[in-house]
Amino acid sequence: MPNSVSLNQDYPLIHASTALLDRAETLIPCATQTLAKGPAQNVRGVAPVYVQRGKGSHVWDVDGNEFIDYTMGVGPLSLGYCVDVVDNAIREQLNDGITFSLMHPLEVEVAELIREVVPNVESVRYSKTGCDVTTAAVRLARAFTGKNTVLCCGYHGWHDWYIGVTDRNRGIPEVVKDLTYTFNYNDIESVLNSIDDDTAAIILEPVVFDEPTNGFLHALRDVCDEKGILLIFDEMWTGFRLALGGAQEYFGVRADLVCFSKAVANGMPLSILCGRADVMALLEHDVFFFTTFGGEALSLAAAKATINFMRENDVVGRLAANGLRLRDGYNAIAEELGMTYTRAKGFPCRSIMVFDASAGNPLLMKSYVQQEMIKRGVLWGGFHNMSYAHDDADIDYTLSAYRQVLPLLHAAVESQSLETVLRGDSVAAVFRKTSNFNTKPKRNGVSA
C-alpha cells in the first residue's frame, strides 16, 4: 500500500521514481529542467523523485504515495493543483485553439487587468519565463539610460547578464561578466560603493526572506532618481503573493520596470514585463523582444482566471494567515524544545527553515527533517510556499508532524548521530546566493 498523509509506519516505497531517475540520468543532464526540483534537492533513496498528479495542495508520486506539497511547483501553484476555475478557463480556450497566426484578444484583456491590479503600470508585454522578462528589462534599462552596468541582488535566471556573476558561468565571455555586480540586501553602502557613471539598472527581488530595514527600498528609489538609474523589481516570488499588486503595493515604492511570472497563471508558463510607458516604448522598434509563444492563449486564459479569482477572493490574506500559523507554529515547537539552532523565517506567504551550523551540518539537519516529513506524507523542501489550497487541516496536520519530527532532529543533533539516522544522500545547498559575492565593481581591474 502506498503511503498517505498520515503518521505512516514506514518510509514510502519509491521504486517507480527510482527506475525513472535511472533512465533519466543516462539521457538528461542533471536529470532535471528546474534545478530546485531536481534529485539534488531531495534525500536520494528516501524522497520521491517524480510526481504523477496533484489536486489542491496534495500530490501523488509515481508510486502512488500522497503528500501535502509545500514546494508548489517552486512558486507557480498560487491557487493549487487542478483548480476548477483556472482549468475550466484553459479547457474553454483549448476548444478554440492555443497559438494563432494573428494576435489574440486575451493579450489586450490580460494587459488591462495587470494595469488595474499592479501599481504604476502604463505598458505591458508578455513572455514565457522569468528570465525572459528580467533580461528584457535589463536590455531596456541599458537602451534607455545609454549605460551598461547592472547591479543585482537575488536570483534572476539563467541568461548571460545574470548567471555570469555566479560560479556556474562557463561559456559566458568575460566582457559580459564584467558588466554585472551584486549588492547586499539592506546594505545601502554596498549599493553606493558599486554605482559608477556607467550604472544602467538596479534590479532586485524586493524581498526574499528578510524585511527591508531603514527604508532600504525607498532609499534605492532615491538613489536611482538621483543618478539616472532604472529601478527594476524582480517580482517572481513577491508578485500576486505579498499583495495582489506585489511589492510596489505592499511597500509603497515605485519601480520603473517590474517583472512577474510564477504565481500569475497558477502553473501555466507566462511572464510579464510592465512599467513606465516611456521606457517600454523602446520596445516599439529599437529594443527587440519578440518570441513565437509570447501571446500563447492557454496561459493568458489561465492568468485572466487566476487574477480574477484573486480579486474576488482574499487569496493574499489566506496565504498570509495560513503561512503565519505554519511559520510561527514551527518556531514555537522549536523554542519549546530549546532548539535555538533552527527557525522558520520570512514573510508568511513564503518562509524558509534555516539551521545554524553551530549545531551541526545544516544540510544534514535539513535532509533529516525532509526524510522524516516525507515519511509522514509531507513533501518538504525547506520552504513553506503557501497556496490558496492549503487549508486548516493541512496546517494542523503539518504542525503535528513537526511536533514529532523536531524532537527527532534534536535527539540526533544532541547525540551527533545525524549521519547515522539519515537513510540516503544529503541534499545539496540551494543554488541561489543573495549576498557577499561579486560585490565590488572592477573597472579595468581596479576597484571603483
Question: Which CB, 144 or 233, lies closer to ligand PLP?
Answer: 233
Closest CA to 182 of 154, 161, 207: 154
Would you count residue 236 as binding ligand PLP (CB under 6 A)? yes
Task: Give the total of residues touching ligand PLP (CB under 6 A).
Answer: 13
Taking contact as CB under 6 A, which single stretch among the options 79-87, 152-160, 168-176, 242-250 is the one that binds ligand PLP? Answer: 152-160
Question: Which CB, 57 or 261, lies closer to ligand PLP?
Answer: 261
- Cβ-proximal residue to ligand PLP, closest one: 130
- C-alpha cell, 185: 540586501
What is the DSSP secondary-structure string of 391-444? -HHHHHHHHHHHHHHHHHHHHHHHTT-HHHH--SBPPPPPS---SSSS-S-EET
What is the DSSP secondary-structure string of 131-162? HHHHHHHHHHHHHHHS--EEEEES---SSHHH
Question: Which CB, 236 or 401, lies closer to ligand PLP?
Answer: 236
Helix extents (H) in 1-56: 15-25
Would you count residue 296 as binding ligand PLP (CB under 6 A)? no
Would you count residue 347 as binding ligand PLP (CB under 6 A)? no
Would you count residue 131 as binding ligand PLP (CB under 6 A)? yes
Taking contact as CB under 6 A, which single stretch among the options 232-240, 245-253, 367-375, 381-389 is the one that binds ligand PLP? Answer: 232-240
* Residue 235 CB, nearest approach to ligand PLP (Å): 8
Among 54, 154, 246, 377, binds ligand PLP (CB under 6 A): 154
* Residue 41 CB, nearest approach to ligand PLP (Å): 13
Question: Which CB, 208 or 427, lies closer to ligand PLP?
Answer: 208
- C-alpha cell, 443: 573597472
Spatial contact of 36 and 47, defined as CB atoms under 8 Å apart:
no
Would you count residue 237 as binding ligand PLP (CB under 6 A)? yes
- Cα→Cα distances 343→354, 356, 369, 406, Å: 6, 9, 12, 11
Spatial contact of 261 and 99, defined as CB atoms under 8 Å apart:
no
Among 63, 205, 296, 372, binds ligand PLP (CB under 6 A): 205
Q: Looking at the chain, how many residues does it have?
A: 448
Tell me which residues touch ligand PLP (CB under 6 A).
129-131, 134, 154-157, 205, 234, 236-237, 261
